[in-house]
Chain A
Amino acid sequence: MEKGEEEAEKMREEFEYLKKKYKILKEAAKVLRVEDKDLPRVIERFKRELEEMKKI
């Protein structure tokens, strides 16, 4: 395999790997019905609210 091809193959593998991760993120965002970029903030909020509710 030539150097260029090797690089392309590496990029493709990386792309496939990252796409799988992205799929998980999108799926999780769908569960909470938010945009994926907002997930960390929303999860934080859910956790906080959950704790507060449990206290009552």
Chain B
Amino acid sequence: MVDKKKILEIFQKNPEEYWKVELFGKEGFKRKVCPSCGKGFWSLEERTHCPNPECGEEYGFIENPIAKKMSYIEVWKKMEEFFVRNGHTSIPRYPVLARWRDDIYYNIASIVDFQRFDNGVMVFEYPANPLIVPQVCLRFNDILNVGVTGRHFTAFVMPGQHSFNYPKEGYWKDETIELNFRFLTEELKIPKEKLVYVEDLWTMPDFSALGPYLETFSLGLELSNSGFMYFAWKGGLKELPMKVVDVGWGLERLSWFSGATITAYDSVFGDVVERFIRKTGIDFDRSLFKIYSKLSGSLNVEDIVDFNHVKKEIISKLKIDEKDFTEKIEKIQAMYAILDHTRALAFAITDGGLPSNSGAGYFLRVILRRALNLIERFGFNITLEEVATWHAEYLKPIFPELKQSEDEILTVLSVEKKKFEESKQKNKKVIEANYGKNLSIEELVKLYETYGISPEQLGIEPSKEFYDLLDKRHKAVLKERKEILEFDEIKTEVLYYEDIFEFDAKVVKVKDNFVVLDRTAFFPRQGGQECDKGFINDYEVEEVIKIGSTILHKVKECKLKEGDVVKCRVDRERRMILSKHHVATHIINYAARKVIGNWVWQSGSNVDIDKARLDITHFENLSEEEIDNIEKIANEIVENDLPIEVCTIPRVEAERKFGFRIYQGGAIPEKNVRIVKIGEEVEACSGTHNMLKSTRETGNILILSTKRIADGIVRLEFCSGSVALDYLKEKEKILKEVAEKLGVEENDVVEACRKLFEEWKKERKRLRK
């Protein structure tokens, strides 16, 4: 069984081939091997050990600036300008919610922007080459370290410098490190003697892609990772068809290094720190915190077994008592954590994320409630909404979208705060019963998942194990394909996007009651749309499914044989209703987003003939006014008779043209996507919308019901066209019957009901007396 260490050893046998670049020779960098970790490193200065903190190096830049002093914003601007000047295209960041992937919830590295799957194989799709992108990433595996270590974040910007497909396009190792060196020495003005390049190996967990990488360090701080992906491990090293340069810079780190502040937060959050201090009136003893920071620099909550012991040790070294530690150190840590968590939330909400008790929203709620708990614990007279506004303002030169989404950010934060307060009230008894108890991690997690009660509410400091267990339980799992063919995949020729409802076909496989034809116009159940029905010869088609590229027709008591030529007939009327309902689903999705907010995303859908169902992400049930408005906007779109345009284009082009909202139904595991455009609503979808030319053909849309089906999910049921008319006619019949029974005109039914009810109540009261 191969492991990372083994592959690294193979590379280390030939460091010149894997890590040496032209620059090292040109500038006179010498290679040494660190006696502590065994890794090779390249430096100009004489040194024995590599600059990794684990090998003894301390942060030498804190209050000892050696780089040009620049703000967080200026560092990115400088970087963007440098790389654009050197042939790169600067592209806007991708969303923090990785909707184009179904194996991760959040964007965790800039390279994720360009990783796609094509029938199970990872491929790279890029809008420019080479490029630079200020990618905001979210990681929730270090929550407890945030605020404490001075360098951990849940949200951070990883400027990605990427080049693909060398030698056909882009560049490779020599130019990558040349650019790296030039940016750091020419733009950030770091003396070249202070740069050290450490050899390491990057690999995917399953070794499907790997390669050497060089970490750039200066005064103990890692500033970037330059990865070169060109191998896979298949019993040995095998070269991949595409070479990829994956340089992940750390904007937080570059800014910290440049600012040389006590913590990274002071450089990264800019004036937001001062605004927080001013508003809350925190007594910030900077000299004491500086001493603490030096002690905490090497702190990693992950490695601490006994947190209380370490805390006591730090208190004794600081020569203060526990009360002072809480007031002067923990309070500041809390401030930094609140600042970080709010920034992460602002990005997530801007990109359509919503805190909830499951899935991707789970982690957002964890940090949101952690921030609220910290505000309460330290009595800060501040709201998350205020902090979010400050971040949006500060980050406007790089991420103006935060400011544009301010209303939505504030709405979601305030709703969540209300929910938290309500949950505290509702769970008061549970909290009281468990307060101060010695609960196990499992019990704490259960309380959190069942009631939303966090350890802090029980007077318990949450431990790393607590967050680890939560993380484990809510991690995105790669969707498993449930349906498995019991025979080799047979590619069925697809006719259902054409105007074909009667056709001849050849039976190519029969398995139980499932028939595979060489070609079919039967639409299989996919993209939320129910399947077509009809006949194959005289056999009634009950169900049509698609597994891979094979389409299977389920018929009753099948006696068909392979090789039979059959006559097939698709139920056109059923298809038409399904198509209308599918178009209505897209329209309702758009209308809901317009009425409610940008956080509305499709969470699920089902398109059938009696009605369609759309589950959307939203934090509360819809009011009558909202339902009326959604229906009104939807019917305006119908009346405006907008064209329904369908095309199949490369995924990368679709993303560039229409953005990531196209992934309403989830990630598309194919290189080309089928795009359905209805007015401003553009979605990647496999439905049969092409049956309709324009929205008026859908017929009027009627919302039948709405219901909050889970935390953060609201279900809308609706129908359109003749189905809606039939539904309303049924209701009219009931109204007629009611009017008759009441002996009034239809328009007077409400008043008559009221009267009847009042009279009934009055009589009942009389009898009770």
The residues of A with any CB-CB pair to B shorter than 8 Å are 8, 11-12, 14-15, 18-19, 21-22, 24-25, 27-28, 31-32, 36-37, 39-40, 43-44, 46-47, 49-50, 53-54, 56
Give Cα A37–Cα B730 distance, bound, in whole angstroms: 9
A44: which B residues are within 8 A, CB to CB? 741
A31: which B residues are within 8 A, CB to CB? 750, 753-754, 757
Instruction: Give A44's nearest chain B residue, CB to CB.
Output: B741
Instruction: Tell whether A53 pairs with B764 under 8 Å between CB atoms, given A43-B741, A43-B742.
Output: yes
Do B753 and A43 touch across chains, with their CB atoms under 8 A apart?
yes
Give Cα A15–Cα B746 distance, bound, in whole angstroms: 17
Do B763 and A37 touch across chains, with their CB atoms under 8 A apart?
no
Over the window 731-769 of chain B, the binary record of Cβ atoms lying under 8 Å from chain A Cβ atoms (1 yes, 0 no) is 110110110011000110110011011011001101100
Let me know if B724 is at the binding interface, CB within 8 A: yes
Do A11 and B700 touch across chains, with their CB atoms under 8 A apart?
yes
Interface size class of B (residues with CB under 8 A): 20 to 34
A49: which B residues are within 8 A, CB to CB? 760
Report whether over half of chain B's contact residues are helix, strand or loop; otherwise say mixed: helix
Do A39 and B738 touch across chains, with their CB atoms under 8 A apart?
yes
Give Cα A37–Cα B705 distance, bound, in whole angstroms: 14
Do B725 and A21 touch across chains, with their CB atoms under 8 A apart?
no
Do B728 and A32 touch across chains, with their CB atoms under 8 A apart?
no
Instruction: Give B638's nearest chain A residue, CB to CB.
Output: A12
Do A25 and B700 touch across chains, with their CB atoms under 8 A apart?
no
**Contacting B756 at CB < 8 Å: which of A8, A14, A21, A43?**
A43
B721: which A residues are within 8 A, CB to CB? 11
Do A21 and B735 touch across chains, with their CB atoms under 8 A apart?
yes
Do A15 and B700 touch across chains, with their CB atoms under 8 A apart?
yes
CB distance from B454 to the nearest CB of A (A): 38
Q: Nearest 3 CB-CB pairs, A to B?
A: A18-B728, A53-B763, A15-B700
Instruction: Give B748's nearest chain A residue, CB to CB.
Output: A24
Do A40 and B738 touch across chains, with their CB atoms under 8 A apart?
yes
CB distance from A21 to the nearest CB of B (A): 5
A-B contact count (CB 8 A): 85
Let me know if B211 is at the binding interface, CB within 8 A: no
Give Cα A53–Cα B765 distance, bound, in whole angstroms: 10
Give Cα A36–Cα B753 distance, bound, in whole angstroms: 12
Do A46 and B757 touch across chains, with their CB atoms under 8 A apart?
yes
Let me know if B51 is at the binding interface, CB within 8 A: no
Instruction: Give B732's nearest chain A residue, CB to CB.
Output: A21
Do A28 and B738 touch across chains, with their CB atoms under 8 A apart?
yes
A46: which B residues are within 8 A, CB to CB? 756-757, 760
Let me know if B639 is at the binding interface, CB within 8 A: yes
B760: which A residues are within 8 A, CB to CB? 46, 49-50, 53
Known: A24-B735, A53-B766. 20 other contacts (CB 8 A): A12-B639, A12-B700, A15-B700, A19-B728, A21-B746, A25-B731, A25-B734, A27-B750, A28-B750, A32-B753, A36-B731, A37-B734, A39-B734, A40-B737, A43-B753, A44-B741, A47-B741, A50-B759, A53-B763, A53-B764
Do A18 and B725 touch across chains, with their CB atoms under 8 A apart?
yes
Give Cα A32–Cα B758 distance, bound, in whole angstroms: 10
A24: which B residues are within 8 A, CB to CB? 735, 746-747, 749-750
Give Cα A54–Cα B724 distance, bound, in whole angstroms: 42
Instruction: Give B735's nearest chain A residue, CB to CB.
Output: A25
Do B734 and A18 touch across chains, with their CB atoms under 8 A apart?
no
Let me know if B689 is at the binding interface, CB within 8 A: no
**Contacting A36 at CB < 8 Å: which of B696, B734, B759, B766?**
B734
Do A19 and B759 touch across chains, with their CB atoms under 8 A apart?
no
B729: which A residues are within 8 A, CB to CB? 18
Instruction: Give B722's nearest chain A residue, CB to CB.
Output: A11
